[in-house]
């Protein structure tokens, strides 16, 4: 009997240690989500895309916490693309297609009994509606809950003490409202190319039950929006606070017509990533743009143009299609390009866009447009190739290419220049990094090859390795 008890005790210890090692491996691994893309606005002209951006920027100025426009844009802006991924919420888990937006914070989805929520989507997906009563793990956030107090006061209010409610008004007159709930989100872990068991953690998100205006339209309807902004209510911040993911995420958006890309929760260690610090105490991802070069030559721009303040700085926004420069920077860029390109290149203004055409059939505009360098603090340069700047003027004239830049009151770096690049949003170290990358290829997340880790990161990784080796040794001894 004693030997049986000892054997049982050893077996229990082996199982316990095995589960401990497995959980440590899973929790230390990066999380990866596949992005999909559809084109709800095929054939949209450049002016239409500009109008979409302007409405988005108006919403950003009115309320920097929630923006509802989708992530638009491709290498051809006549195809207004929409990036989304799939999340699973509740118990039992239900699938929801959500827009990924770096310009907003609060995650929210459609809920049952919604007044004005689209019933169908032209994106060829089945819309789902979250039902708190059908999930065994769902709970409503009341106004007495500390979680309600942590939500930005511009979004949360309490007309009823039992519900922590939200109401968001937009410049174009559209509106969404509802109440906050907490339920499980099921996040798939990707461990060295193989899928590990799903991890489930609580997530506070909005349950939208009223929509008005353009939010009721079905042409770009999804199940909701998951904000990846800087506030503690954002999706990435909530996962980080529970130890599920590092406080850093990356995206890589494809430029080709197949669309899609990768969204990675974790710090990549791809070579040649350059980093620049975020401007402190700003709600958006704002950077210090210090100078601009065209064809390697520094432009003579008034330093006041680049002076950062509460209303200045260059904003990274994946939900904006085009790229916008304030007048003091836009005009010198256009003038420098005009001086650089050959005389046989035709130049025209098309509805506020500077456009170019080449009559020589052996060349394309992409062959002769000079590189443009955006130089940020900490000596971080973002070099824009012709394909990062030029877009066909329409689907009817493939020979005429227009510069995807516009004059604006703010500098906003939009989707057109973010593609075919790995962008890293490091909230832990308050910085943004980038490098050119084939977005059809995997992103290297192996800590053993990365140079971007701090000394502390290395110590933690070494400690983890020693602990795992020690536990594994004990298991073999017991066996």
Using CB atoms within 10 Å of the CB of residue 125, give its burial: 0 to 12 exposed, 13 to 18 middle, 19+ buried.
middle
52, containing H or E segment: helix 46-62
Known catalytic residue at 101: yes
Total Cβ atoms within 10 A of residue 119: 11
Radius of gyration of the chain (CA): 25
Q: Which two tokens stand for residue 227?
A: 């904000």
Cα–Cα distance, 139 to 30 (Å, whole number):
28
DSSP 230-298: SSTTSHHHHHHHTTSS-SEEEEEE--STT--EEEEES----TT-EEEEBPTT-SS-EE-EEEEEETTEE
DSSP 384-399: EPHHHHEEEEETTEEE
Please identify which of the residues 53, 99, 223, 317 carries the catalytic annotation.
317
Q: Which two tokens stand for residue 455?
A: 């000394």
DSSP 149-217: HTS-TTTEEEEETTEEEEEEE-TTS-EEEEEEEEEEEEE--EETTEEPPPEEEEEEEEEEEEEEGGGG-
For 351-451, list the strands marked E by DSSP. Answer: 353-358, 372-376, 380-384, 390-394, 397-403, 405-408, 411-413, 421-426, 431-436
Please identify which of the residues 53, 101, 415, 420 carries the catalytic annotation.
101
Cα–Cα distance, 18 to 30 (Å, whole number):
21
Cα–Cα distance, 154 to 194 (Å, whole number):
42
Cα–Cα distance, 435 to 420 (Å, whole number):
9
Q: Which residues are catalytic?
A: 101, 317
């Amino acid at each position: 009997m004693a030997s049986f008890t000892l054997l049982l005790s050893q077996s229990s210890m082996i199982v316990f240690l095995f589960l401990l090692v497995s959980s440590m491996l899973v929790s230390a691994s990066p999380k990866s989500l596949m992005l999909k893309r559809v084109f709800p606005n095929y054939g949209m002209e450049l002016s239409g895309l500009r109008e979409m951006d302007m409405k988005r920027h108006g919403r950003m100025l009115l309320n920097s916490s929630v923006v509802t426009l989708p992530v638009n844009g491709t290498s051809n802006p006549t195809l207004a693309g929409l990036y989304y991924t799939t999340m699973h919420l509740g118990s039992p888990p239900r699938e929801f297609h959500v827009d990924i937006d770096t310009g907003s914070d609060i995650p929210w989805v459609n809920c049952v009994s919604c007044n004005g929520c689209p019933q169908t989507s032209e994106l060829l997906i089945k819309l789902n509606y979250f039902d708190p009563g059908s999930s065994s793990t769902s709970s409503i956030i009341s106004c007495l809950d500390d979680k309600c107090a942590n939500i930005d006061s511009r979004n949360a209010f309490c007309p009823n003490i039992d519900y922590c409610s939200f109401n968001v008004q937009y410049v174009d007159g559209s509106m969404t409202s509802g109440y906050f709930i907490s339920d499980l989100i099921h996040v798939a872990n990707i461990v060295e190319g193989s899928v590990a068991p799903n991890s489930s953690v609580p997530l506070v998100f909005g349950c939208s039950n009223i929509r008005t205006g353009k939010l009721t339209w079905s042409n770009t309807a999804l199940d909701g929006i998951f904000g990846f902004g800087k506030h503690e209510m954002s999706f990435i911040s909530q996962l980080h606070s529970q130890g599920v993911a590092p406080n850093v995420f990356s995206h890589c958006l494809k430029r080709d017509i197949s669309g899609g890309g990768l969204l990675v929760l974790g710090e990549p260690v791809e070579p040649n990533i350059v980093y620049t610090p975020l401007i402190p105490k700003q709600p958006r991802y704002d950077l210090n743009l210090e100078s601009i070069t065209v064809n390697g030559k520094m432009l003579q721009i008034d330093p006041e143009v680049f002076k950062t303040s509460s209303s200045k700085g260059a904003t990274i926004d994946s939900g904006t299609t085009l790229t916008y420069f304030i007048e003091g920077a836009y005009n010198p860029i256009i003038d420098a390009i005009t001086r650089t390109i050959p005389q046989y290149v035709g130049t025209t203004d098309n509805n506020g866009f500077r456009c170019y055409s080449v009559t020589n059939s052996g060349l394309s505009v992409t062959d002769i447009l000079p590189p443009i360098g955006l130089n940020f603090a900490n000596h971080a340069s973002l070099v824009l190739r012709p394909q990062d700047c030029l877009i066909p003027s329409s689907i009817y004239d493939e020979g005429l290419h227009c510069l995807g830049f516009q004059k604006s009151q703010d500098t906003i770096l939009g989707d057109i220049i973010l593609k075919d690049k790995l962008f890293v949003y490091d909230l832990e170290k308050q910085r943004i990094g980038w490098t050119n990358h084939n977005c059809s290829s995997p992103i290297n997340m192996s800590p053993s090859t990365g140079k971007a880790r701090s000394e502390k990161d290395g110590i933690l990784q070494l400690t983890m390795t020693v602990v795992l080796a020690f536990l594994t040794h004990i298991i073999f001894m017991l066996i």
